[in-house]
Structure 1
């Protein structure tokens, strides 16, 4: 993403002008734009004219429109933006912004509904309806960071099935799914099984050549149950040797074989937390997310009083300054209710202000999708707290405050009554 212009005041007012360049940029834009925001971009409108003779004609005009957003629609794409040789392809994700026109011109009336197609390599300006908060500004900073892009390739496989994936800071893209029917081994003859597996390995190898930019990635992970990963790894480098594929052979040190419980994409979370993978990806955002989610699950199993999840419970823990690590999905920041969004922004800022860690998970990664199954928010506490006891204390505190308020109101009412009696006595006198 390119930052074309930025004018944001300390109070959060102002705008930024951005130019998305790839699929991940489009995902960032989708997360930045909320209902009520003002988006200005180039649009194409069909204009009809009627001549004096009654004949009509139509033509297209390009106009800059500013919309007050009512709806956003993001359509991710499975195809990638990079070839095995590192050449960029056209992005394929799409983002549509619908809303009312707030700046009138000769072609579009004020208040008319319109839909903008935000496209890669086209500038747009964004003004936040309720101001730029810290989470939105942080996402802009991440999006425009130099050198961002796919960091790791992954092949999650089993006998006859494989998913070829690319992982970047905020997205897991499934480049291709491969399925080959593999018959079971039979006593006295394995030719059918072996031939099918040979076809399977060949299909995966060809996909690697087409879809995995192994020269630029930090690591390529092969994950599987059983020994499929070992056989596939051997096949890939046997073929690379036979064909003298020097770039692929040179990347051999980046390839990591790890165990996974299933041959499905959701096992990527398990694969990413393998020590040998974590070591190569130190500092990568999605690696930190995977480690954080793993720590939460372990804490939930071993010391549940230090593992809380759910908006209300986590909010209580944040209020008490007990959160060491906050895990929160970017889904929650897309709330159309500004009060709800601000609540989550305040939680992120409160944890960081006390020296804790706030991890904002991308729902386009497997780890983010797993967190969404836990309501989208969880916390690892620095000390144990019993949820039921905390809730009881909260109820007692609310009852105490209600009693005090009632006593104050009663005293005020009694005082007004005494004053009225005094005025009445003075009048009689």
Structure 2
């Protein structure tokens, strides 16, 4: 979540935040703080009568006083319904309208009384997600994966045949200020050509990014993977990069890497048959009641259900885990270890001690 502007009267606690949601988690966080009678201002579309008969859809900025909302966490959209409460030449005051709060679309949220907890939720959401942009280079195309916040998402595929590398400059310029690193990886020698091309165009990239303080060279890493992996799937390559001991040292400070390593250790014990301290989904609650649970692993699907009520139940359960000092690890199902975790129920744990 980006906080674009903050205008709060400290004495009255009233005012507005200008916000830009960047991922579905931001939509969920907004669903926790938006309440009836809040005012929301956003660019939208509305059908208007032009000559009394024909209607035309036009773009305009509307402010509504919220009456109700629903959230689609899977697609990252919050639908806010209410009455238009600010003057607009095209729409009457008091008319109903539904604003769509979407990813990468700015809007303003006004409250008569901002609570400290609501402001904290926004501040926490704005701290960033330690994302990595992973660009997997094949012979004719490059696949772009966003890795972070315990999830892996393929966001694009671009054509690079005949060494059309200019698209990479655009992609890197658009994302370099949003991620911790940009990793170029490949099993073929084309990686060297791309690296050389980018170094020759560093100044061009710098001119296209908003933050001049960013050290472009430091944020772009290149990783040559074994040649026998040239026909591997995206998932297999991601798994290799983030579980290889030497490679992962280059970005060891990311929580995602820690979570993957811990999950790998769990399955190492599992595969060796050292089952005494390992618990599955059914034993989690019982081991927690005995104070015996040390670590818990969730798939990202289990941890972030698309229904708000289910999501809040998981959140409440995690608060109990934190009070009990249980370490929480989230594993993306798009990772091979996440696939294995999903197969055994999406949840498992490691004990501190045997309780029965």
TM-score normalised by length of structure 1: 0.55
The alignment partner of 1:66 has SS state of strand
Q: Residue 164 of structure 1 contacts residue 207 of structure 1 at CA under 8 Å; is this kept in 2?
A: no
- Unpaired runs of 5+ in structure 2? 87-91, 206-215
Distance 1:137 1:373 in 2: 39
Alpha-carbon offset, residue 66 of structure 1: 0.8
Q: Residue 45 of structure 1 contacts residue 62 of structure 1 at CA under 8 Å; is this kept in 2?
A: no
Q: Give the equivalent residue in structure 2 for 1:308.
A: 279
Q: Give the equivalent residue in structure 2 for 1:264.
A: 233
Which among 210, 226, 231 is matched to residue 170 of structure 2?
Answer: 210
Give the greater-gyration-radius structure (CA). Answer: 1
Q: Give the equivalent residue in structure 2 for 1:72.
A: 72
Alignment pair present for 1:177 and 2:157: yes
Residues 236-385 of structure 1 aligned to structure 2 (within 5 Å): 236-239=194-197, 244-245=200-201, 250=217, 254-259=221-226, 263-267=232-236, 268-302=238-272, 303-310=274-281, 312-328=282-298, 329=300, 332-334=303-305, 336=307, 338=309, 340-360=310-330, 366=335, 370=339, 375-383=345-353
Alpha-carbon offset, residue 246 of structure 1: 5.8
Which among 95, 100, 105 is matched to residue 116 of structure 1?
Answer: 100
Q: Residue 139 of structure 2 contacts residue 190 of structure 2 at CA under 8 Å; is this kept in 1?
A: no
Structure having the higher helix fraction is 1
Distance 2:111 2:302 in 1: 20
Distance 1:278 1:107 in 2: 57
Q: Residue 321 of structure 1 contacts residue 351 of structure 1 at CA under 8 Å; is this kept in 2?
A: no
CA offsets 1:79-114 (integer angstroms, 9 cap, x no match): xxxxxxxxxxxxxxxx433365499997447xx784
Distance 2:337 2:16 in 1: 28
Distance 1:164 1:337 in 2: 29
Q: Give the equivalent residue in structure 1 for 2:125.
A: 143
The alignment partner of 1:31 has SS state of helix
The alignment partner of 1:210 has SS state of helix
Distance 1:334 1:372 in 2: 14
Q: Residue 8 of structure 2 contacts residue 15 of structure 2 at CA under 8 Å; is this kept in 1?
A: yes
Alpha-carbon offset, residue 273 of structure 1: 2.3
Distance 1:252 1:117 in 2: 31
Distance 1:120 1:31 in 2: 15
Q: 1:154 to 1:316 in 2, by over 3 A?
A: same
Q: CA RMSD in A?
A: 5.0
Q: Residue 284 of structure 2 contacts residue 349 of structure 2 at CA under 8 Å; is this kept in 1?
A: yes
Distance 1:132 1:305 in 2: 45
Q: Give the equivalent residue in structure 1 for 2:89.
A: none
Distance 1:104 1:253 in 2: 47
Q: Give the equivalent residue in structure 2 for 1:41.
A: 40
Q: Give the equivalent residue in structure 2 for 1:156.
A: 136
